[in-house]
A and B are shown apart, each in its own frame.
Chain A
Amino acid sequence: DAGVIQSPRHEVTEMGQEVTLRCKPISGHNSLFWYRQTMMRGLELLIYFNNNVPIDDSGMPEDRFSAKMPNASFSTLKIQPSEPRDSAVYFCATSSDRLRGEQYFGPGTRLTVT
């Protein structure tokens, strides 16, 4: 199994630009999570989906952030417009009902907004 796949691995963009991060879950996993990690704020859960439906988006910082899961094998996290304070490592993680909460993390996307 390839594990959770995230792209791009690194993204450098200028303030005001749109950024789209992508995640492909492990086949058969029906829960998908987006996290953000910074030195200042630690690891934050932004949103999670179950069976492609958003369940908890209370961690999404503001309206500039949006996430979609159009099907079971793909999800995006979009930031529009981006700001320097969005610079962080963004992780996607997936799980299944059988795993009972155990999550498998992708390698992350390191985002730098200048």
Chain B
Amino acid sequence: AQSVAQPEDQVNVAEGNPLTVKCTYSVSGNPYLFWYVQYPNRGLQFLLKYITGDNLVKGSYGFEAEFNKSQTSFHLKKPSALVSDSALYFCAVRAISTSGTYKYIFGTGTRLKVLA
């Protein structure tokens, strides 16, 4: 079955330190990969996506993500964390289903807590 895994329920990092939120996927074909952020009592907001080309993708709020095809990973990174980055982060994939239609799969989310 096609899936997306976010192995960490929560990540704690000190303000100013680099952060990484992990995501791995298991899908057939060449998926499109996404990161979204959710602040309390809000809908998800798009951060960045990988479709093709350069493996390092830059997005909103200073976030970037690195696509690694051999490891089937798409980790979210930021060089210097801010307290305001504290939120729930979702990795997502758009793949092709067995019926030929698009399949959208979200990870379970990782709560990022940046400590002042």
A positions within 8 Å CB-CB of B: 4, 33, 42-43, 45, 48, 55-56, 91, 93, 100-108
Contacts and interface: CB of A to CB of B under 8 A. Distances in A.
B108 A101 contact: no
A42 B109 contact: yes
Contact of B106 (A43, A48, A56): A43
A56 B32 contact: no
B43 A106 contact: yes
Interface residues of B, number: 21
Interface in B52-98: 90, 94, 97
A94 B102 CA distance: 14
**Which of the listed residues B90, B104, B105, B106 has the most CB atoms from chain A within 10 Å of its own CB?**
B104
- Across chains A and B, which 6 residue pairs bring their CB atoms closest together, nearest first? A105-B43, A101-B94, A105-B44, A101-B32, A42-B108, A43-B106
| Secondary structure call for the A interface | strand
Interface in B30-51: 32, 34, 36, 42-46, 49, 51
B109 A91 contact: no
Interface of B: 32, 34, 36, 42-46, 49, 51, 90, 94, 97, 101-106, 108-109
26 contacts: A4-B43, A33-B104, A42-B106, A42-B109, A43-B44, A43-B90, A43-B108, A43-B109, A45-B104, A45-B106, A48-B104, A55-B102, A56-B97, A56-B104, A93-B44, A100-B94, A101-B32, A101-B49, A101-B94, A101-B102, A101-B104, A103-B34, A103-B46, A105-B36, A105-B44, A105-B45
Contacts of B97: 56
B46 A91 contact: no
Contacts, number: 53
Contacts of B106: 42-43, 45
A93 B92 CA distance: 14
